[in-house]
Each structure stands twice: as structure tokens, then as C-alpha cells.
Structure 1
């Protein structure tokens, strides 16, 4: 049980709001074990069944009529006017996952409902995965492993095929000084590398304070031997890494994408990787998954993973525990630590 849990949660300054959980069964099983159940029931009034998977049934409408708190995760439908009309007392949505972009509609803001998410907690495993990918990209390990397994290159040909195999004194480029991008920059300080960051919306002094150097996108692409993408998926960022941008990258450089597939022009990346000039480590693609005919599946200089960089397994407990901390803050009249506003959501992932 968290140290934040009061000995008498229903005492002075606290109340036990009515709550219901809305998420996929798998998310519920992974994120709410016995300890989380106990704490949930300590902090809130929760009827059986504790969690719902749909909000368009008579049972859901009856539960929504009473709830003050929605605890959501993967699988919760968008909270539109039709759903919210059945929840006249709803005051706060606590999302036990990362982005709330597909969940929160303008109607949520219009009704003055507070929203909290767990983007900070979900950023931790993504940053860890990205750091590992950067290190492995420097050594060309994923590509050499594939080539060795398939016999596509002789042992002595690896350097010629994939380029230098080192992380020492290399330059790493970070596109997007987001929650994840910041954590990656922080972790890169353990390596002997130079870090360039492109993010036109961030004060350059913030980037310098983190131990990196702010740079224009072209400079990042030209100088970095590894480029990692961490920008949000917005209409303005779609295909921000296209044919012209990829053409600026150095021979044998590696593009890493653990953000959103739409940030990269897939066709342009296929062309560069098929030529052998660039390498790629992709946890996300556009579309996702790739069509069966994509050349990226079979290229030895491409590593594909099925969107696993974010919280998996018991890593998701970071998020449910944060939600329970937020529930306690709400119940005791404290500000939410991970609150999201309509303005922030416009530029968030």
C-alpha cells in the first residue's frame, strides 16, 4: 500500500466518492491485483462488478448515473455527449494509461470534468527501451544478428555492410523534447556521446540544462549517427520525417521510432532501408501493423517490434498505482498531480 494512503481515509478532509473502472479485461487483470483492489475499496465506493468493458448498456447507464469518478484504461470508449449524459455527477476521469487523446472529447472539457493521465509513468519503459535501442544501434547488433542468422553477410563483411560499430564519441539526435524525449536525454548522459535535440516549442535553455544541445532539424539529421523520434502525432507532424529528411541522414545511420508511426513516411523509409543506406529500429509503423508485402519485414537492416516499448505486464502497475494516488488526492481535496488540460492535449501525444 502506498505511503500516501491515510490510516482513516474517510476521516476529516476526505470522502469516498462513487467510482467505476472502465477498461479491457486484460488491462483490469494486469493493473488491479489484490493490493490495488484493497486500496481502491479503501479510497472509493465501488460496487460489483468493479469494472465495465462497455458504457452503452443498461447496466453501465445505471452505474454512470451514480459515479463521481471514472477510472479508465485501454479499451474505454470515447467519452462523448451521449455517454456523459448518463453521468450527471461525474467530476473526474483518472486514466490508468498514457495518452487520453482518443478518450477525451470536447464535451468532457465543456462539462468541467477534470482529467488525469499516466503519461509520465508510461514514459519510463519507453525511455528504457529507446536507450537500449540506441546502444544496440551504435553496435549495429540487431542488424548483424539478423544477417548472421540468415547468412546474408560473411563474418568479415559486417563493417562494410552496416558501417561503424561504436557508441564512443558518436552523436545521437532526439526529435521531440517530450516526456519520453527528456528521459532519453537524461539516460544518454551515462554514455560518451553528444546529444542534439530538435524541438521548436521548447526553450533552448531547458535542453541545455538537460545536458544536450538544441539544434535545427537539418543539423540533427545530418550529424547524428542515430536519430530517435519522440514527437506527438498531430496533423502538423504527419510525415515530418519524409524523403527529404531521410536523404539528409548520414550513410549507415539508424532511425528509431518508438513514438507514432505517422511521424515517418513509410514508403520513403522503405526505399532508404531497401537500398542499404539507412537502418531502422521501429516499434511503431504506419500503418500498424505493416501490410504483409512491406519490404521492412525482410530487410536485415531493419528491426521491427509490435508496439511493445510502452508499459507491458507488471510495468502497467506504475500507472494503476499513480491513478490510486490521484484518487486519494481528489478525495482529500488536493490538486491532481498528473492533470491534463484541453490546451495541453492539443500538443500532447
Structure 2
């Protein structure tokens, strides 16, 4: 039996008709429309072999795990599993898988859109026209550039980072990557140059952040690092605000020296009076980079495929271990 602890609205967004039919063929399902209700989840887990989790599911801690004596697999329909899985799950040998790879393409596309917008100062023009500036005033913006031949820096050759690299290189960007774990062979295959963080920041017209949110990457870009960005450069962050000192970034942006495009923030929802909202050199979206129709269905497809592999006794493609709990959601 599989407990699908994903609320009804989200369940419909994540599981397309074809993947849902495949799941129905392979398992008896118990659907929970209030996945955060611990008592309801505990009752459902009594006979469960598989637990499907999503945003809002109660964390599977020792108490809930004790209510699930038959549990073999936790299949998360998102990326980071740390908010939903306690270390005790791994202690008991329950397999854990997640669908984060399905998010790479839509997030990379948004990062590409951000990159093009910053290069062409589209956000500045839009802000000027919407705020009532005269045409002659609205025309004024820092120099604009095309992506062909553009020096683009990428911090983190993650799944999303690699998808972004593929997109910007296809448009002619010259990419330099900072990632201590990127091998020379992988860099060659990706068609990128590898350099230290400081060099990437100092030599890139656009820098895109795609590093994981770990304890060691907290404020990876602080005041010193942000000061290395050249005048007129742009910063793209579709990863986590954890990676960038938001106060330091705000100070840099207030000078007008650099531009930024952001999908993630320290406070979410972003307060209506937050100073970022008023700056003409900032492009903002409300943490929705992964939320395309196709991207959401890809999460469900990935989840169902992993459940099928588990039931068939095959190797999981997206299994994670205890180290996954170090990631910050």
C-alpha cells in the first residue's frame, strides 16, 4: 500500500493522468488531503509500504516512523528531503528518493531568462515606463550586451547549474565555473573553464548562483565577494537566498553599480515594503522558477518511475542518503 501524503490541489498539479494511472496499477493508494496532520498520517502509515511526500507533509520523525512498521520507501515529489525525513528513517534502512532532477530544466530556463533580461536591461526599461518616466528618461540605462561571447560565471555545477550551462553555451556565452567538486573531465565535457570563486566574480558580466544550500555555503557571497563584481555586472539567484548575504546585496544594489534578478529571499513571502521591491535595477519573481506545468508533471513522473523501480527490485535512479539531510530547504 502507498500513502500519498500530498494535498489534493498539489496532487493534481504534480501527477498527470498517465503517471497517476501507472501508480494506480501498481499500488493500493491512500490519499491524504491534510498531509500535515500527524494523527491522520500516523493512522494511514500503519499498513503502508510506500510513503509519497510533498510540500507540507509532516516530517517523518521517530514517532511517525514507529507507526509505520512496514515502510520500505519514502518518495518525495520535490528536491530537498531534510524538512520531511528524520535521520531515524535512514537508521531503519528505509529507502529515500526525491524528484529534484526534474526541477533542473525549468529553473535553468528562468535563470536564462533572467540572464537575458539583465544583459539587455529589460527590467530597468520596464520599471521606468511603469513608474511614469518620460520617454527620454526611460531610454536611459547602462550599456546593454548580447549573450554571444558574453563572459558568464556559474557558481556550482549542480544539476540546475549544468542545465543552465547548456542553455547559455548554446547561445554563445563563454562560461567559467567555480565548483570545488567539478573534475577536469566534467569541465571539458561541459565546455567550461574552471576558476576560483573570486576570479569568476571579478571576470563575469553575469554570475548565476547554482550552488547547494549547505552549512558551509551560508552567505557564500558576502560583502567582500559582491564587491568583486565589475561595474554593470548582473547577479542571478534562482537557488537559495541562503547563499547570498541579502543585506550586503541590498547595499550594493542601492548604489546602482550592479543589477540582480532574484527568485529567492530571506523572508518569503517578500514583505510588501521590502526595499528590494522599489529598486529599478532589480528583477523579482516570487520563488516560482520551477513551477511550470511541464516541470510539475515531471516531478510526478519521476516519483512514479522510482516507485516502479522499487517495486520491481531495481536500482533507484534518484536515491539519497543521510548526507541529503545537510541541505537547507
- Bigger radius of gyration among the two: 1
Residue 274 of structure 1 deviates from its aligned partner by: 1.0
Residue 158 of structure 1 deviates from its aligned partner by: 4.6
CA distance in 2, matches of 1:294, 1:184: 29
Give the 3-state SS of the residue equivalent to 2:279 in structure 1.
Answer: coil
Q: CA RMSD in A?
A: 2.0
Match of 1:334 among 314, 320, 325: 314
In structure 1, stretches of 5+ residues that fail to align are 1-17
**1:203 paired to 2:183:** yes
* Aligned residue runs from structure 1 range 17-56, under 5 A: 18-47=1-30, 49=31, 52-56=34-38
* Contact 2:32–2:41 (CA under 8 A) maintained in structure 1: no
Residue 314 of structure 1 deviates from its aligned partner by: 4.6
* Contact 1:20–1:52 (CA under 8 A) maintained in structure 2: no
List per-residue Cα deviations over 1:283-330 (Å, max 9, x = no partner).
Answer: 001122334443211111101110010134453111111111111111
* Contact 1:261–1:288 (CA under 8 A) maintained in structure 2: no
* Contact 1:264–1:286 (CA under 8 A) maintained in structure 2: no
Residue 272 of structure 1 deviates from its aligned partner by: 1.0
Partner of 1:5: none
Partner of 1:9: none
Partner of 2:145: 165
Give the 3-state SS of the residue equivalent to 2:29 in structure 1.
Answer: coil
* Contact 1:64–1:86 (CA under 8 A) maintained in structure 2: yes
* Aligned residue runs from structure 1 range 235-246, under 5 A: 235-246=215-226
Partner of 2:212: 232
Per mean C-alpha deviation after superposition, the further-off stretch among 161-170 and 195-204 is: 161-170
Partner of 1:296: 276
* Contact 2:155–2:208 (CA under 8 A) maintained in structure 1: yes
* Contact 1:226–1:256 (CA under 8 A) maintained in structure 2: yes
CA distance in 2, matches of 1:225, 1:124: 23
Partner of 1:219: 199
Name the CA shift for 1:274/1:251 in 2 (closer, same or farther; >3 Å).
same
Partner of 2:164: 184
List per-residue Cα deviations over 1:178-224 (Å, max 9, x = no partner).
Answer: 11001111111212221010011222331232011101111111111
CA distance in 1, matches of 2:134, 2:126: 10
In structure 2, stretches of 5+ residues that fail to align are none
CA distance in 2, matches of 1:324, 1:86: 24
CA distance in 2, matches of 1:267, 1:246: 11
**1:141 paired to 2:142:** no
Residue 148 of structure 1 deviates from its aligned partner by: 2.6
**1:99 paired to 2:80:** yes
TM superposition score normalised by structure 2: 0.93
* Contact 2:81–2:324 (CA under 8 A) maintained in structure 1: no
Residue 157 of structure 1 deviates from its aligned partner by: 7.0
Residue 278 of structure 1 deviates from its aligned partner by: 0.8
Match of 1:129 among 82, 102, 110: 110
Residue 37 of structure 1 deviates from its aligned partner by: 3.2
TM superposition score normalised by structure 1: 0.88
